[in-house]
């Protein structure tokens, strides 16, 4: 089999080469699968079996080296983003935030950059898109960054907890026990940024508040970033109530996936209605994320594409 040189790695440290290859060569295997070629590590070079993929593989490897230089590591999701979504290493030059254990958080796709800029420049941001695009996690990162910088005093995260026809009154336990299963993904996001111990203290002090949407009624929310998650499961009246809670020196972020509505068929999603109504208000951004912004396992993107094809029939 004839082999073609992709890149000379003579001057790279062994740790960098190992990071490029990944555990059990999983990074190289991903490149092989997506580009339909074979890769070889021989005589201080990375080679490919297909001359038509030389330039593309070389660009991917160079981006991986740049990411390793910036981050000190290469995650499998980083490699996936470069190979599958064809995002370059420029996205990894500067983290938007450093979290617990010096973990750095980066914007990984053009859609994520657009969304984060909307957070910075608008009083209210409504964002829709499939699972895995980072809608809620980026909202939490933005809120935590604003809190650390002293620009706000409080983070409030809420979501509708009556889904798929379930009623909280029929679930066992007190209020916290009833709503925690719905809000667990939010707790996980805060834990990744602050660490579980710090999050518990911030919750006790009321600096972070995580509550069902019904508890927002009648409040005016000043000096805060307020996040409404899973907003596709709100009614028109619920989301109107939420939008009108905006206070001074506050930001509101509303996230949802309009392809995963759990409301009964007779009820229209409040998120879809709100987007129609508020479009054109300059202080409000409406951002739509797409499957190309998915930064989870490559199979997730393929699942989304398969469902989109089925829905378009």
Q: Determine the pLDDT at residue 175.
A: 55
Residue that terminates a domain, selected from 71, 93, 115 = 93
Q: Considering only CA atoms, which of 135, 132, 123 is closest in space to residue 256?
A: 135
- Give me the mean pLDDT over the 226-230 stretch: 94
pLDDT in tens, 37-60: 999 988 889 999 988 999 999 999
- Give me the mean pLDDT over the 16-25 stretch: 90
Alpha carbons 126 and 119: distance in angstroms, whole number: 10
**Is the pLDDT reported for residue 162 higher than 60?**
no
Confidence of residue 265 (pLDDT cuts 50, 70, 90): low
- Give me the mean pLDDT over the 236-259 stretch: 93
User: 186: domain range?
Assistant: 101-312
Q: Determine the pLDDT at residue 306.
A: 84
**Is the pLDDT reported for residue 163 higher than 70?**
no
- Give me the mean pLDDT over the 73-93 stretch: 84
- For residue 152, count CB atoms less than 10 angstroms from its CB and return exposed for 0-12, middle for 13-18, buried for 19 or more: buried
Is the same domain home to 216 and 266?
Answer: yes
Residue that terminates a domain, selected from 42, 59, 93 = 93
Strand, coil or helix: 209: strand
* Paired residues of 155 in beta bridges: 208, 225
Is the same domain home to 293 and 234?
Answer: yes
User: Both tokens of residue 242?
Assistant: 């939420």
Is the same domain home to 151 and 193?
Answer: yes
More confident residue, 156 or 83: 156
Q: Determine the pLDDT at residue 239.
A: 93
Alpha carbons 56 and 37: distance in angstroms, whole number: 11
Residue that terminates a domain, selected from 64, 93, 122 = 93
Q: Determine the pLDDT at residue 308.
A: 77
Alpha carbons 138 and 167: distance in angstroms, whole number: 30
Q: Considering only CA atoms, which of 221, 233, 100, 218 is closest in space to residue 155?
A: 221
Question: Residue 292 belongs to a domain with what CATH number?
Answer: 3.40.50.300
pTM given for the model: 0.80
Is the same domain home to 76 and 138?
Answer: no
């Amino acid at each position: 089999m004839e082999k073609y040189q992709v890149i000379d790695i003579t001057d790279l440290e062994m740790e960098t080469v190992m990071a490029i290859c990944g555990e059990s060569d999983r990074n190289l295997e991903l490149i092989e699968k997506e580009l339909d070629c074979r890769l070889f590590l021989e005589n201080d070079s990375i080679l490919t079996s297909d001359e038509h993929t030389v330039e593309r593989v070389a660009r991917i490897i160079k981006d991986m080296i740049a990411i390793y230089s910036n981050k000190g590591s290469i995650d499998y999701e980083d490699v996936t983003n470069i190979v599958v979504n064809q995002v370059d290493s420029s996205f990894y030059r500067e983290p938007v935030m450093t979290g617990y254990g010096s973990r750095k958080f980066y914007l990984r796709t053009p859609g994520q950059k657009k969304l984060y800029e909307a957070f910075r420049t608008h009083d209210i941001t409504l964002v829709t898109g499939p699972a895995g695009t980072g809608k809620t996690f980026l909202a939490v990162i933005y809120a935590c960054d604003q809190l650390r910088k002293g620009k706000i005093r409080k983070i409030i995260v809420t979501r509708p907890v009556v889904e798929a026809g379930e009623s909280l009154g029929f679930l066992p336990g007190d209020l916290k026990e009833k709503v925690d299963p719905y809000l667990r993904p939010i707790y996980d996001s805060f834990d990744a940024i602050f660490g579980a111990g710090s999050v518990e203290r911030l919750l006790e002090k009321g600096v972070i508040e995580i509550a069902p949407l019904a508890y927002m009624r009648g409040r005016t929310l000043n000096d805060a970033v307020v996040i409404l998650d899973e907003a596709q499961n709100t009614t028109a009246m619920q989301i109107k109530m939420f939008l009108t809670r905006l206070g001074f020196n506050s930001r509101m972020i509303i996230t949802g996936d309009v392809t995963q509505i759990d409301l009964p068929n007779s009820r229209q999603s409040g998120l879809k209605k709100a987007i129609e109504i508020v479009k054109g208000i300059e202080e409000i951004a409406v951002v739509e994320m797409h499957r190309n912004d998915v930064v989870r396992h490559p199979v997730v993107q393929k699942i989304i594409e398969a469902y989109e094809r089925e829905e378009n029939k």
